[in-house]
Amino acid sequence: MEAVKRPLQLLEIEKELSGPDRRDALRRHDAVLAGLEKRIADAMDAGLSPEEYSKTERLREANVLARKLLRLAVREADEP
């Protein structure tokens, strides 16, 4: 039986972003969010119903915010 990987928990991500390899963690997590951003843009470009468009727009805004928070978390960890 193949082991199922569980998603990272928020606390684990926070620890990664404040640890010694925080720049690598930032790049990894940001790449995931960038991929999601691309998928959202593709879906919106393909055309969505007004209801789905509204939901997808909120998801896009949350994704932008998540990317900003990643950068702030690493910047804060870099400050003395």
Helix, coil or strand: residue 5: coil
Closest residue by Cα to residue 67 from 40, 29, 41, 20: 29
- For 26, other C-beta atoms within 10 Å of its C-beta total 19
Residue 18 has pLDDT above 60, yes or no: yes
User: Are the CB atoms for 22 and 30 separated by under 8 Å?
Assistant: no
CA distance 33 to 56: 14
**Confidence band (pLDDT; 50, 70, 90) for 11?**
confident
Tens of pLDDT, residue by residue over 25-44, are 999 999 999 999 999 999 99
Q: Residue 29: which of 62, 60, 1, 71 has the closest Cα?
A: 71
